[in-house]
Amino acid sequence: MTPIPATRLPSSETVPVLGQGTWYMGEQARHAAGEAAALRIGLDLGMTLIDSAEMYGNGGAEEVVADAIAGRRDEVFLVSKVLPENASRKGTVAACERSLKRLGADRIDLYLLHWRGSPPLADTLAAFDALIRDGKIRHWGVSNFDTDDMEELFALPGGDQCACNQVLYNLTRRGIEFDLMPFCRERGIPVMAYSPIEQGRMLNHAALKAVGARHDATPAQVALAWLLRQDGVIAIPKAASEKHIRENRAAIDLLLDADDLAALDKAFPPPKRKRSLEML
């Protein structure tokens, strides 16, 4: 099995480029044990970055993660997010404390502002700094920030300490390639791609099927391999079954050639102008 490559955060710490998402986990109690079991299989396969958020399942996803990482916390690079309505100076700290309790953890490795809200960014950054000082988080970052948001962030004292920007990015959502991705790459900030297979909606596309057929791979593996070949991109597909976990993991072994990339560019053209950041 090919090891999962790593990318560097601005701090020079390395993280795997293929992780596990938990959006829609923790919403129904009867599925929680199976969801945690799937995450554990992913950990066994080296997918040690797990992304969650206080929003997912109203905290239920973080509780699923707690089950999955019990006794294995030191193996995991743990990511969670604060909702914008909670992102005041005091509110961010309180939200982090609640997430830590649900996660059964003493620290979050990367804590993200889920999207822009009304609290001033300076107040959120002050809270992040306090959480780092107190050992509650190790790094902070943002999610769903467009280029103008990143420029505003970097204009603030300490804004250049941002470790990551998590955004919607896949073959059908390539708008960030025009300006946001270059902004992040110039500053060594990884882009974490959520919904990397568009929640399955792209998987019947003829181009993905054709490329997959040439490599005895599934359309999902093609979509993931297209992302994973790029420097500074982390993909966090959500999978709640062993089959899908193993399918995602095997995408690391799929190497797309120039003909494959040309076919995918033809089917899913890169942007030629600025597009507003898309969100799900």
Catalytic residue IDs: 56
Q: What are phi and psi of 255, to 5 degrees?
A: -110, 115
Residue 16 · residue 47 · CB < 8 Å: yes
35: nearest Cα among 59, 64, 55 = 64
Alpha carbons 213 and 161: distance in angstroms, whole number: 43
Relative to beta strand 6-8, strand 14-16 is antiparallel
- Token couple for 218: 């599934």
Q: List the structure tokens of 152.
A: 């505003």
CB count within 10 Å of CB 94 equals 13
- Burial (CB < 10 A; 0-12, 13-18, 19+), residue 161, is middle
Helix axes 242-250, 29-44, angle to 10 degrees: 30
Strand bridging mode 191-194 / 165-168: parallel
Helices (H) and strands (E) in the chain, counts: 10, 9
Instruction: Give residue 42's identity as a one-letter amino acid code.
Output: G
d(CA 7, CA 218): 25
